[in-house]
Amino acid sequence: MSVEPSPSTSTAYPNRRYPIDGQVFKPMIEAGLIWLRTNQQTVNALNVFPVPDGDTGTNMVLTMQAAYDEIADSPERNVGKLMHAVAHGALMGARGNSGVILSQLWRGIARALDNQEHLDGIALVNAFHQGRNTAYKGVVRPVEGTILTVTKDVASAAEEALKETSDPYEILERMVPAADLSVQRTPELLAVLRDAGVVDAGGKGLFFLLEGFTRYVKGLPLDSAIATIQPLAAMKMDAGMENVEPGQDYEVVVDFRPHQTLDLIQFYEDLEQMGTSIQMGEGDGMYRMHIHVPAEKLYDPIEYTKSIGTVTKVAIENLVAQMEAIQNERGSKLNLIPIEPGQIAVIAIAPGQGIARVFASLGAAAIVEGGQTMNPSTQEILRAFENLPTEQIIILPNNKNIFLAAQAAAQLTVKKVHVIPCRTVPQGLAAMMRLAPDGNLEDVVQEMTAAIDEIETGEVTVATRTVEIDGIKVEEGHTIALLNGKLVLSSPMLKEACLGLLEKAHADHFELITFFCGAGIARQEVNEITDAVRKIYPNQEIEVQEGGQPHYQFIISIE
């Protein structure tokens, strides 16, 4: 039996309290969330491929926000019961593969602390031991060099620390540098990370979460701006629209060249007095500042930037109007086919309104918005089918980073739910062509699964950084093409990238090429590209559909 240390009065640890019950541990969890959110963009930037859909940080923040929301108003002092609530919230709010794995870590921790009043050193070690095991079991084919490796190394560090101390705070303090070291080692274990020149994003997010615990205990700031600069092409101006806070009336973007070396720390601190959602990008000496501000401070960031540099471009958007437009678009009704009791209902994840309409026309019973940069939560997927008048459900995730959340939703219901392993929109559409609503569920699942291997998927977007992967040199700002998720070429021109992608896919051996156009691409440019495709592939049928997906100019189905 461990003996609790006496309460510390050291000014170095102002928030160290004994015993650690639920109400002592709760602010530590909140601190982990805040510190993770503070470093969200840093984690998002750790994309293996230089594509503008890095959302690991966002997914982990939203997962942890759901976890904390579950306990925010709870007076529970039993740390075990509190952890069960955290685990439940994390599971229901889990987004993306990193969010699901994080929820499984909390699930294991909750099991180890089941009904335990206080968190001592032994309990902390056992909790992370069980958390590690549960996280690994939650993945069919665990891959080292990911967040799983970091959970393993953290658990091992905790076990080693217990040999020297039973103080949970001291054990936790040793776990944080172990997490940091483990993250730095991930490229040694996973070649794709080494080639991309990045560490694992999920592991980095877990490090920030744990570091937030210790920063709280030490009384260190948690929400001060992190002075980070991302490539200009990586800045996603629409990424924050889902979470526009009250008082954020306008989005202001300023391009400028500083008169002298930019003091990022001071720059961020000054901007924090004006607004929120601050982002910085840089390329060739040009800086781009992004901020959300209330109406009364609309021009403050512009005037401030003019005082430290030469402003070359200013863009202002009315966030309230944008949100109204988004809500109106989402409010447009899809013609979903009613499902009768006993029939098979398909739940499709769609990254754009155009793609959603195609799935609806093929017989989807429900559409869940999601895809690049907007992975739906476990709960959102569950809600889509839980009230349907049938027990037979098929889920089409249509994105590799939504697959685990779909599986988690399938495990939370008594209905018969199958998740088809389609990782792209074209694969999901190919599967839909095999749907027989009145057929035998197992037979239909087998048919739909077989269909996804009969189609090629192309994706075209803009590179967010300069890198070399698989022998392909990529320049920031150039157009890149992925074939079935693999980077195959980079080109300064969109048309050349599309034509090169089709050549790599041997499109002349197929019958139909369908272009799903992304949001914002001009119709004239679409026509120019597809006309060129028709001349090169006169024997293939070429179709053009409005996809509406963000960030990707084209998703191309080749079948």
What's the token pair of residue 138? 């939650």
pLDDT at 325: 56
Q: Check: CATH 1.25.40.340 for 22-218?
A: yes
Q: Are strands 416-419 and 392-396 parallel, antiparallel or unpaired?
A: parallel
Q: Which helix (H) or strand (E) holds 16?
A: none
pLDDT at 239: 43
Q: Check: CATH 3.20.20.70 for 230-325?
A: no
Q: Check: CATH 3.40.50.510 for 332-454?
A: yes
pLDDT at 228: 62
Domain ranges of the chain: 22-218, 230-325, 332-454, 456-558
Same fold, 332-454 and 456-558: no
The Cα 42–Cα 60 span in angstroms is 12
Q: What is the pLDDT of residues 311-357, one digit of tens each?
A: 998 888 887 666 555 555 554 567 888 899 999 999 999 998 899 99
Q: Is 484 left (phi over 0), alpha (psi -120 to 50) or beta?
A: left
The number of C-alpha atoms within 13 Å of 46 and in the hemisphere containing its C-beta is 24
Is 0.85 surpassed by the pTM of this model? no
Residues of the chain under the 50 pLDDT cut: 1-9, 238-244, 331
pLDDT at 6: 46
pLDDT at 119: 96
pLDDT at 427: 97
Given the candidates 3.40.50, 1.20.120, 3.30.1180, 2.60.40, the CATH classification of the domain at 456-558 is 3.30.1180
pLDDT at 223: 77
What's the token pair of residue 23? 């109400």
For residue 465, which of 288, 279, 231 has the smallest C-alpha distance? 231
For residue 91, give the 3-state DSSP assignment. helix
